[in-house]
Structure 1
Amino acid sequence: MKKYLLVITIAFYTFQIHAQTAQDTIDIKRVALAYIEAQHNPNPKLMESALHPRLVKRSVFRSKAAQKDYISEYFAENMVILAETYNAKGDKFPGNPRKEVKLLDISERTASVKLLADAWIDYMHIVKTNGEWKIINVLWQYNDITQHE
């Protein structure tokens, strides 16, 4: 029994090692960077290219008046509009904005990524559909938690 378990374990880890390619890693990073760069330099087409049409972006905020937490949600359409309007005046980011992508986990069709930007952190789930990597979920927060009120 132990011999079969060892073979299954080795096979599992072998599959995990070969579950993604170097090109997948490049594409995943490119999609995460497109998401933030589309906000740095207003580019709704770039944002749209990075997002799965069913994307949901969420965060937790606190209502001061009600003293209760609530979840904010944005969808792909909101993010495309945000990419066009948020930094239209060029005053929302420093001259050399932070955009650090950390790959947390990659498998054959899914990836988890942490994006560190200037004012916030985005945790992303990225999915490979029809041969393309797209962001399908984002959970984010400001670095300064008091901005969530």
Structure 2
Amino acid sequence: MKNKVAMIHGAGGAFLAASARKSDLARATNETQRSSKLEANHLMDDTNIARQDDLEAINQTLLDYIEGFYDGNEARMESSLHPELAKRIANLDSASGRGYLAEMSALALTQLTRKKADRPTPAAERVQEIAVFDIFENAASARVTASTWIDYLHLSRLNGRWVIVNVLWEMKAGQPFKPYW
């Protein structure tokens, strides 16, 4: 699946988006034009707009992350992650009723991906919509919408390559949280 990469401009600046569907880009463009409040939350100052090679490298890192997971490709997943990655989800303990953060490390995520190698996600069930919201110097913020969950990611350029350092994720409506690790 080839992703489309676009720079979406609004009244106050621009934000970067990469998506697997043309309709998502059109919707994002329309939403940007309709709501300056939304724009304020997603805009990059024009002086900080990343070079195209940064956007392409970040997009590739995010594709290695989601496609690596779907395919059970441990090497692609591992290449996209910083070894000290923290992937967290807020959850509710059914016994106590108290909220807590469930956390997964880079090692746990890589091992989980390896376990999927013999049962990759079928193509018809895959969703991989990518939006890069902001890039400044060696830091970037993005979202990956997957089949049953949404990830909000922070990336950093370390030693010349972009890697994911933090992920806060949430299950889509109607999808139960199942600790996979």
Scaled to the shorter chain, the TM-score interval is: 0.7 to 0.9
> 2-side partners of 1:52 and 1:83: how far apart?
15
Match of 2:26 in 1: none
Letter in 2 for 1:16: N
Q: Answer yes or no: is 1:85 the counterpart of 2:110.
A: no
Match of 1:41 among 71, 77, 85: 71
Q: Answer yes or no: is 1:139 the counterpart of 2:168.
A: yes
> 2-side partners of 1:49 and 1:75: how far apart?
14
- Could you tell me how far 1:88 is from its partner in structure 2? 3.1
Match of 1:118 in 2: 147
Normalised by the size of structure 1, how large is the TM-score? 0.82
- Could you tell me how far 1:96 is from its partner in structure 2? 5.1
What does 1:73-112 correspond to in 2, within 5 Å? Answer: 73-86=103-116, 88-90=118-120, 92-95=121-124, 97-112=126-141
Letter in 1 for 2:54: D
- Could you tell me how far 1:77 is from its partner in structure 2? 0.5
> 2-side partners of 1:74 and 1:89: how far apart?
21
Residues 148 and 175 of structure 2 are in contact (CA less than 8 Å); yes or no, is this contact kept in structure 1? no
> 2-side partners of 1:95 and 1:87: how far apart?
17
Structure with max Cα Rg:
1
- Could you tell me how far 1:147 is from its partner in structure 2? 1.7
> 2-side partners of 1:146 and 1:62: how far apart?
14
- Give aligned pairs, total: 134
Normalised by the size of structure 2, how large is the TM-score? 0.68
Q: Answer yes or no: is 1:128 the counterpart of 2:160.
A: no
> 1-side partners of 2:80 and 2:46: how far apart?
30
1:147 is paired with a residue whose SS is coil
Cα RMSD after superposing both structures: 1.9
Deviations along 1:38-62, one digit per CA (max 9) or x if unpaired, are 1111111111100011110000111
Deviations along 1:91-149, one digit per CA (max 9) or x if unpaired, are x5552511000111111211100101110000000100111000000000100266248
Q: Answer yes or no: is 1:16 the counterpart of 2:45.
A: no
Which runs of 5 or more structure 1 residues have no equivalent in the other structure?
Answer: 1-12
